[in-house]
Amino acid sequence: MSILDIQGPARTFGADKPKTFRLPKVDADRLLPFVVPVALVGLWQAGSSFGFISDRIMPSPLAVLSAFWQEAASGDLGHNILVSGARALAGLAVGGSIGFLLGIVNGLSRLSERLTDTTLQMVRTIPHLALIPLVILWFGIGEEAKLFLTALGVLFPVYLNTYHGVRNVDRDLIEMGRIYGMGRWSLFRKVIFPGALPSIFVGLRYALGIMWLTLIVSETIAASSGIGYMANNAREFMMTDIVVLALVIYALLGKLADVVARALERWALSWNPAYQR
Amino acid sequence: MTIAQVERDHRASIETTSETAPSVAPAGLRLRGVEKTFGKNRVLRGIDLFVPAGQFLAIVGKSGCGKSTLLRLLVGLDQQTGGTIAFEDGQGQEIAPNSRIVFQEPRLLPWFDVADNVGVGLGDGVARADARRRGEAALAEVQLSDKAKEWPSRLSGGQRQRVALARALVSRPGLLALDEPLGALDALTRISMQALLARVWQELGFTAVLVTHDVTEAVHLADRVIVLDEGRIIRDIAVPQPHPRHHGDASLAKIEGQLLEAILGER
| Separation of alpha carbons A68 and A239, rounded Å | 12
Residue A50 contacts B, CB cutoff 8 Å: no
- The residue type of B91 is Q
ipTM of this complex prediction, to 2 decimal places: 0.81
pLDDT, position A21: 60
Where b means 16+ CB within 10 Å and e means fewer, A15-39 reads: eeeeeeeeeeeeeeeeeeeeeeeee
- Those residues whose C-beta lies under 8 Å from the C-beta of residue B71, and which sit 6 or more positions away, are B59, B101, B177, B179, B209, B211
Q: A residues 257-276 near B, CB within 8 Å?
A: 269-273, 276
| pLDDT for position A24 | 54
Best B73, B99, B111 residue to mutate vs chain A (most A CBs within 10 Å):
B111
Instruction: Test B109 with A194 for CB contact under 8 angstroms.
Output: yes
- The domain segmentation of chain B, as residue ranges, is 2-98+173-265, 110-172
pLDDT digits (tens, 9 = 90+) for A173-211: 999 999 888 999 999 999 999 999 999 999 999 999 899
The total of structural domains in chain A comes to 1
The whole domain housing A122 covers 75-275
**A-B C-beta contacts closer than 8 Å:** 52
Question: CB of A55 within 8 Å of any CB in chain B?
Answer: no
pLDDT score of B56 = 95
Q: Which residue in chain A is spatially nearest to B73 when comparing CA positions?
A: A179
Contact B151 A271 (CB under 8 A): yes
Contact B107 A181 (CB under 8 A): no
The domain that holds A154 is classified in CATH as: 1.10.3720.10
Residue A15 pLDDT grade (very low, low, confident, very high; cuts 50, 70, 90): very low
Q: Which of A241, A247, A208 is nearest to A227 (CA)?
A: A247
Q: Which residue has the higher pLDDT, A27 or A204?
A: A204
Rounded Cα–Cα distance for residues B180 and B122 (Å) = 23
Secondary structure tally for chain B: helices H, strands E: 8, 10
Nearest CA in chain B to A273: B153
Report CB contact under 8 Å: A183, B109: no
CA dist A20 → A23, B142, B201 (Å):
10, 49, 59
CB B240 within 8 Å of CB B230: no
Does a structural domain hold residue A45?
no
- Residue A39 maps to a domain: no
Would you tell me which CATH number, out of the four given (3.40.50.300, 1.10.1060.10, 3.30.565.10, 3.10.290.10), belongs to the domain B2-98+173-265? 3.40.50.300
In a domain, A4, yes or no: no
**CA-based max dimension of chain A:** 75
> Would you call A180 and B75 a contact, using CB atoms and an 8 Å cutoff?
no
Alpha carbon distance B103, B87 (integer Å): 21
Length of chain B: 267
Contact in structure between B252 and B241 (CB atoms under 8 Å): yes
Please tell me the distance from the alpha carbon of residue A182 to that of residue B45, in angstroms, as a whole number.
32
pLDDT at A12 over 80: no
Inter-chain CB proximity B107 and A173 less than 8 Å: yes
Indicate whether A13 belongs to any domain. Answer: no
Nearest CA in chain B to A187: B124
Q: Taken in order A193, A114, A179, B68, is the CA torsion positive or negative?
A: negative
Helix axes B2-17, B187-204, angle to 10 degrees: 80
Indicate whether A239 belongs to any domain: yes
Residue A49 lies in a domain: no
Residue B192, Cβ density class (10 Å: 0-12 exposed, 13-18 middle, ≥19 buried): middle
Q: Looking at the DSSP assignment, which residues form a beta bridge with residue B237?
A: B225
Domain membership of residue A63 (yes or no) is no
Chain A residue at shortest CA distance from B121: A180
β B82-88/B28-38 pair status = antiparallel
Taking an 8 Å cut-off on Cβ atoms, the answer to whether B151 and A194 are in contact is no
Q: Which of B109, B121, B124 is opposite residue A191, by nearest beta carbon?
A: B109
How far apart, in Å, are the Cα atoms of A251 and each of A86, A146, B21, B165, B231? 17, 20, 61, 52, 67
Reduced to 3 states (helix: H, G, I; strand: E, B; else coil), residue B61 is: coil
Q: Which residues of A touch B154 (CB under 8 A)?
A: 1
**pLDDT tens digits along A32-77:** 888 998 999 999 999 988 888 887 788 899 999 999 999 889 988 9
Q: Confirm whether A97 is domain-assigned.
A: yes
Mutation target vs B (from A267, A271, A275; most B CBs, 10 A cutoff): A271
pLDDT, tens digit (0-9, with 9 covering 90-100), for B48-71: 999 999 999 999 998 888 899 999
Residues (pLDDT < 50) of chain B are: 1-4, 6-21, 267
DSSP state of A16: T
